[in-house]
Amino acid sequence: MAVAKADKTLQKMRNNQRSDWSLSDVERVCRRLDIEVVPPRGGSSHYSLKHPAVIMILTIPKDKPIVFTYIVQLTKFIDSIEMSIKSVAQGEAHVD
């Protein structure tokens, strides 16, 4: 059930990136792909999103609402992860 809700949220993000997305929406989608969401520390105002399948670390502001440029970056980040996972499953190497 949680996977289906995360998939629906991700699809809504792809279709309406300018909506008022919250950090809980981002976390829901990230949990589906085991993306680590690291809270800000040391005076930072951004969460860090990490996944072992890609080198890139994405940052998302802790303030709400999250503006559309971060949602665009998030969907591209997820696409990179999914492509990397698919490549590994097919025996290919993919580095981002």
Structure confidence by residue, pLDDT tens digits, 3-47:
688 888 888 888 887 778 889 999 999 998 899 999 998 888 999
Give the chain's mean pLDDT.
86
The per-residue pLDDT for 92 is 60
3-state secondary structure at position 24: helix
List the end-to-end C-alpha distance of the chain, in Å, as a whole number.
31
| Tokens coding 3 | 């996977």
In DSSP terms, 48 is beta-bridged to: 38, 59
The per-residue pLDDT for 29 is 92
pLDDT of residue 93 exceeding 70: no
